[in-house]
Amino acid sequence: MPFPQFDRRRVKFLPLSSRKNKQQIAKMAIDPDSAPTPLSGDGERQLDEVAARVETARANGKPVMLVFGAHSIKNCLGPLFIRMMEEKLVTHLATNGAGIIHDWEFSFQGQSSEDVRANVDQGQFGNWTETGTYLNLAFVVGAYRGLGYGESVGRMVQEEGLDFPAVEELREFIAAGAREESISETVAAASDLLWTMQQFNIPEGRMNIPHPFKQYGVQAAAYRLQVPFTGHPMIGHDIIYNSPYNHGGALGRCAVRDFLIYANSVAQLDGGVYLSIGSAVMSPMIFEKSLSISQNVHLQKGNKITNHLMVVVDLQVAPWDWSQGEPPMNNPAYYLRYCKTFNRMGGTLKYITADNRDFLLGLYSRLR
């Protein structure tokens, strides 16, 4: 007997335009050419060292991965990320599910970041029509097209819409695929898409979705520049799960594809730089799994990833010197996951206490 489930169709959704937001991208966007605020302590010296390693990595054709939490997007750093992609200073961007959403909302309406406390109290947090509808549809269409999580959103923003195939075309494709001895995963994705179109009466053809602020969209820029921008969500963590348009199968296909794209970048990281900015959970967790499978393949060939620099940036003061090894379990520093995990990953760990805006502006000012 299956357990009862919550019916999301009972939820009342409101237009995104009716929501009060804390951040407005046009007013608050960071100018990449603005002077950075100097870092405290030995932060400036550390920035010099990081910039030198990034320059060396790029000169040698090695990856520079920029992995960040949602606050880097909420802090309106999008223009800086775009500039760094355009100038080929970074080779891969990655964020969590919330970062994907904030970047999309900025592209769609120029605003993001609702009042969580007030809206939960009113039963309205996350219950916004356009965010729940368009992002979930982007993943259903993207999974069918063979796109990843970030790429699905980037394509929708850049092309300002989604294309839905003919129902009969989907039916024929699914039927033909089911008769094959080996069923393609695309057949399952086509079934997800057909189910979604039928459930929500979505007509075949073009769905126009204007994005008047897409010049600020990092995912759109990554799609345009063909730079990997991967999304790494966790089920139930993001407001798109509130919506009945949410489809676990489609979302999972896109997210797994992005994990494998990310892991492919990690597999090339020997001699490269990994920048982990304000991500206490997502970045260290996906890094350790990706490095493990990458090392497995390298070791089979007699190689090993050893010469990689991992730069972790967060606001938390970390008095422990990680170059001296791991602290004992009775030391609070032991429980700083974003330091402990990376310290176990070989290579070199550098922890910098800084605001993400100050660090990234300082780094870019040196690299340019």
User: Which pLDDT does position 320 carry in this prediction?
Assistant: 81
pTM (2 d.p.):
0.96
> Which domains are present in the chain?
12-165+204-367 (3.40.50.10690)
- As a whole number, mean pLDDT of residues 59-67 equals 98
Share of the chain above pLDDT 70, in %: 100
How do residues 178-188 score in pLDDT, each as one tens digit?
888 888 889 99
Average pLDDT, the chain: 95
Average pLDDT over residues 122-142: 97
Lowest mean per-residue pLDDT among 133-147, 195-209, 242-256, 309-323? 309-323
Segment 266-323, tens digit of pLDDT: 999 999 999 999 999 999 999 999 999 999 999 999 999 999 999 999 998 878 888 8
CA 200 to centroid of chain Cα atoms: 27
pLDDT in tens, 105-115: 999 999 999 99
Provide the pLDDT for residue 55. Answer: 98
Q: What pLDDT sits at residue 368?
A: 86
Residues 51-71: what's their mean pLDDT? 97
What per-residue confidence (pLDDT) applies to 230?
A: 98
Q: In this predicted structure, what is the pLDDT of residue 41?
A: 81
Of the listed ranges 45-54, 138-147, 182-191, 290-299, the least confidently predicted one is: 182-191
Q: So what's the pLDDT on residue 206?
A: 98
